[in-house]
């Protein structure tokens, strides 16, 4: 019972994103469905997991397409809840850490707005080079639980495939900044991302808000030493940039390299050779910190931080946490199914085999509105899936004893001091799901709402109502 009481404590504050009480109750049903379903076959899996009647399938579809749920407000409330009430946020210099990255989700539907041909640059032989799908960008926040560091997902949006105006010049980098701004964190943070986000379009807006970027730069990048101050007596702007420095040459000269113990999580008895230097980076015209890192097994990379107060060890540790969002993507895809929606648009012009961007400026207003409605349905599905996953992460990092006490099964990866995974939390919630249908649950209105929707002809519903 206590596990679901804790679950409800994190779900209840999201009521403000719903226009009506009934919308909120359907949102709770969806969040519960994400948390306890045993297969990822779309909305039908939620109906089966809770033993609901057949009409509930259409009601849930209507819910995802309804404007009564403000998805922007939902992301803001969820972010504020984590910032204010999670007891173990990862902070550096008092600032929270937000990893960000993109994810490409395969979609075969020819009548799904936003689906386009995408290139996947990966060394994995399980990923084809080109796919048809949705290109999303996402951001999360790092928290600690026991001896683990976990990325709680905050927000994800589809950022490619649909062009409503041919005058729009926004890039993926601009959309990432806009997405971060929409969260309204209210305090500076560190944004940790891969080399794609090492750009002026990311750095300048972050610095204006007192935030900083920690990232990797490409091996062929260059920077400049500050120009020596020389009084030439000539008119005009003094020289700003001095000698050019090819960053891959920072590895030359072993006597200039420093040896430190690796601060990366999970590594012990590993020695790194590093060299840190502050240089002018021309895209932004300010001093930034570059750290050349030589790892004994993972090779060489060059890291960059816009915060000069961070030590090289802190920059390496921060960038090491970037991989946590990749782990979060894996759980979102294979455990929660946050990106596995199947909503088609009946009246849509089928996409071509080339899968190019879908331009809307020649379409009728009704057609554009229909595309927006379908895209918003995708965003509601994604956001609620990420919140369901986030609540699982919160349970794993704040009340692991309740999760393990209700688990009642075997996992090879269970280790002392390591927080339970989202898969373990899902099994624990499945085992204790009948507690939702008792009169002792925290929210009797939700219990009554669920009981009214049970189909007692189903075995699942009989077990829950017993």
Does 233 reside within a domain?
yes
Average of per-residue pLDDT across 271-297: 94
State the helix-helix crossing angle for 2-11 and 21-36, rounded to 10 degrees. 130
Interatomic CA distance for residues 118 and 450, integer angstroms: 41
Does 290 reside within a domain?
yes
| pLDDT for residue 123 | 65
| pLDDT for residue 169 | 86
Per the DSSP assignment, residues forming a β-bridge with 26 are none
What is the model's pTM? 0.95
Average of per-residue pLDDT across 195-203: 96
Is residue 352 very low, low, confident or very high in pLDDT (cuts 50, 70, 90)? Answer: confident
Does 164 reside within a domain?
no
Mean pLDDT of the chain: 93
For residues 88 and 145, is the Cβ–Cβ distance under 8 A? yes
| pLDDT for residue 206 | 97
**Residue length of the chain:** 466
Does 232 reside within a domain?
yes
Of 83-92, 199-208, 403-412, 435-444, give the lowest mean pLDDT range: 435-444
Does 71 reside within a domain?
no
Residue 333 backbone class (left: φ over 0; alpha: ψ -120 to 50; beta: rest):
alpha
Residue 225 φ/ψ, nearest 5 degrees: -75, 145
Domain span at residue 279? 215-308
| pLDDT for residue 227 | 87
Does 106 reside within a domain?
no
Average of per-residue pLDDT across 341-347: 92
Per residue in 120-156, pLDDT (tens digit) is 876 666 778 888 999 999 999 999 998 899 999 999 9
Domain count within the chain: 1
Please name the residue that has the structure tokens 């540790």.
Answer: 317
Does 258 reside within a domain?
yes
Helical ranges in 198-306 per DSSP H: 200-208
Does 144 reside within a domain?
no
Is residue 416 very low, low, confident or very high in pLDDT (cuts 50, 70, 90)? Answer: confident
Residue 330 φ/ψ, nearest 5 degrees: -60, -45
DSSP 166: T
Interatomic CA distance for residues 27 and 49, integer angstroms: 15
């Amino acid at each position: 019972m206590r596990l679901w009481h804790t679950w409800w404590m994190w779900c209840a504050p999201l009521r403000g994103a719903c226009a009506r009480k009934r919308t909120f109750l359907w949102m709770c049903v969806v969040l519960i469905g994400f948390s306890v379903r045993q297969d990822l076959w779309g909305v039908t899996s939620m109906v089966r997991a809770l033993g609901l009647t057949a009409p509930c399938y259409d009601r849930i579809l209507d819910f995802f397409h309804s404007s009564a749920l403000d998805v922007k407000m939902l992301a803001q409330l969820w972010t504020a809840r984590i910032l204010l009430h999670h007891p173990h946020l990862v902070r550096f210099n008092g600032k929270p850490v937000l990893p960000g990255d993109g994810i490409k989700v395969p979609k075969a539907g020819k009548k799904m707005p936003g689906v386009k041909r995408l290139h996947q640059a990966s060394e994995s032989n399980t990923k084809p080079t080109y796919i048809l799908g949705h290109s999303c960008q996402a951001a999360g926040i790092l928290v600690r639980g026991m001896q683990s560091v976990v990325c709680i997902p905050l927000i994800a949006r589809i950022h490619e495939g649909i062009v409503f105006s041919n005058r729009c010049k926004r890039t993926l980098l601009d959309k990432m900044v806009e997405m971060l701004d929409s969260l309204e964190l209210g305090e500076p943070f560190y944004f940790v991302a891969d080399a794609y986000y090492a750009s002026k379009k990311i750095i300048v807006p972050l610095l204006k808000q007192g935030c900083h970027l920690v990232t990797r730069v490409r091996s062929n990048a260059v920077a400049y030493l500050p120009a020596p101050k020389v009084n030439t007596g000539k008119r005009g702007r003094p020289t700003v940039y001095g000698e050019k420095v090819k960053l891959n040459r920072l590895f030359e000269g072993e006597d200039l390299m420093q040896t430190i113990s690796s601060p990366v999580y999970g590594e012990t008895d590993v020695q790194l050779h590093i060299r840190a230097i502050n240089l002018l980076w021309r895209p932004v015209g300010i001093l930034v910190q570059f750290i050349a890192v030589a790892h004994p097994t993972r090779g060489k990379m060059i890291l960059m931080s816009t915060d000069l107060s961070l030590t090289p060890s802190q920059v390496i540790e921060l960038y090491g946490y970037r991989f946590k969002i990749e782990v979060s993507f894996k759980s979102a895809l294979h455990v929660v199914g946050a990106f596995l929606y199947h909503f088609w648009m009946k009246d849509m012009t089928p996409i071509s085999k080339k899968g190019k961007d879908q331009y809307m400026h020649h379409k009728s207003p009704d057609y554009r509105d229909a595309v927006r409605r379908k895209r918003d349905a995708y965003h509601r599905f994604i956001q609620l899936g990420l919140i369901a996953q986030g609540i699982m992460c919160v349970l794993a990092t704040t009340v692991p004893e309740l999760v393990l006490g209700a688990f009642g099964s075997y996992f090879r990866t269970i280790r002392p001091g390591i927080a339970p995974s989202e898969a373990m939390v899902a099994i624990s919630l499945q085992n204790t799901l009948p507690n939702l249908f008792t009169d002792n649950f925290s929210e009797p209105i939700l219990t009554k709402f669920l009981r009214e929707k049970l189909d007692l002809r189903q075995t699942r519903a009989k077990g829950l109502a017993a």
